[in-house]
Amino acid sequence: MSLAKVVVVEDEAAIRLGVCDALRIAGYEAIEAADGELGLVAARRPGVDLVLLDLMLPKMDGMSVLKALRKTHPVLPVIVVTAKGGEDDRVDGLQEGADDYVVKPFSARELTARVQAVLRRSPERPGHVQQVTWGSTTVDFERREASAKGSAPMALSETECGILAHLAANAGRAISRDEMLTRLWGISGGGVETRTIDMHIARLRSKLTSLSGSGPEDWIVTVRGKGYMLGSGVNVKGKSKA
């Protein structure tokens, strides 16, 4: 089995070397990029499985790299790794399509665990749920896209698919934010961290409602005090125990 390829976009040589060493020890192939322009080129190469992206980069800042990458690779997993740990910074990163957000300083153990959690989501999803539909709109988890008659398919991110598939695999049960953080990210929730889920669900709802013409809670229902639940009108294909 080939090693998962992780592109590390980091301008500080010592940090870049340390991250790459940690990834290689954990069994990944690490590809280094010292600035934003080189990072975007490396991330777009065939066979890349995940990108670790610093925000404060020379030549092209990390947020610009993320925006450009999402235009050509909308479902490629990206973990933002930065010293900018304020809530506004986290929200901006998630809104632009980051799958996770790690604040410096961090341990090698935490970073590799988050990489493992993000990569683990992709092969697990299709085995649980193949598709969900609402009206004439279908979400295909293998293709990672939503489609409706008369409209072009809309790409969904790794995280968006993971959230919707987990809700579908547990249809009829409210899923807490902490549970989703644990199942999808492999970390415990609490405080600001749980708002990560809210941001992803808001973006997912926006995509699905714009395509299907549905209301925001037709796909995903907010259960006050408990979390989120799949809408009762959403049909699930290929469901198995989560």
Instruction: State the burial class of residue 159 (Cβ atoms within 10 Å of its Cβ: 0-12, 13-18, 19+).
Output: buried
Please list the ranges in the chain whose pLDDT falls under 70.
Answer: 1-2, 85-91, 93-94, 121-128, 182-194, 238-242
Question: Where are the chain's structural domains?
Answer: 5-121, 129-237
How far is the C-alpha of 207 from the C-alpha of 197, rounded, in Å? 15
- The pLDDT score that the predictor gives to residue 185 is 64
From the list 69, 93, 61, the residue with the least C-alpha distance to 7 is 69
- The pLDDT score that the predictor gives to residue 3 is 79
What CATH architecture applies to the domain 129-237? Orthogonal Bundle (1.10)
Tens of pLDDT, residue by residue over 104-142, are: 888 888 889 889 888 876 544 334 578 899 989 999 988
Beta strands per DSSP E along 43-144: 50-53, 78-82, 100-103, 131-134, 137-140
Measured at the CA of 178, the angle between CA 173 and CA 181, to 5 degrees, comes to 105
The answer to whether the predicted template modeling score (pTM) of the entire model surpasses 0.85 is: no
Residue range 5-121, CATH number: 3.40.50.2300
